[in-house]
Structure 1
Amino acid sequence: MTTGKMFILLGVGLIILGLVLDHAPGLFGWFGKLPGDIRIQDEHRSVFIPITSMIVLSVLLTLLINLFFRR
């Protein structure tokens, strides 16, 4: 795959993701609320570390990439 085609596919994917997030915001409502995600808040600051959500996202992306780009 050439670099140009890869950038076109990446751009189309980002546009589709943006449209999905704009028209169905509840679809990703689980993100950041899974057990294992760390949220620390006090009066003046807030810290959010989405460990479990990032692991789930990483597994899903790995599966998708292996399905579409495996030779």
Structure 2
Amino acid sequence: MTECGKILIIIGLLLAILGCIFLFGNKIPFIGKLPGDIAVEKKNFSFYFPVTTCIINSIVLSLILWIFSKK
């Protein structure tokens, strides 16, 4: 039963961190505007795909999950 409680606490902390990122993410100037991100703007069309940002997010999340799996 204590293991379930620990998992719920960790999930709650991760959700709180994710919520803070959503609230304050637009105030961090370099997030989403890294070199390698694809942005195409035409007269009636705009397309944005954050390739580099996705790769960095994947690496960070993989490291965090790897650290938690070791405990």
* Same fold, judged at TM 0.5 (above): yes
Aligned residues: 68
1:42 matched residue in structure 2: 42
Alignment of 1:1-71 (within 5 A): 6=7, 8=8, 9-23=10-24, 25-27=26-28, 29-70=29-70
Structure 2: gaps spanning 5 or more residues? none
Does the aligned pair in 1 maintain the 2:39–2:48 contact within 8 Å? yes
The alpha carbon displacement at 1:42 in A equals 1.1
TM-score where L is the length of structure 1: 0.69
Distance 1:24 1:59, change over 3 A: closer
State percent identity of aligned pairs: 32
* RMSD value, Cα: 2.5
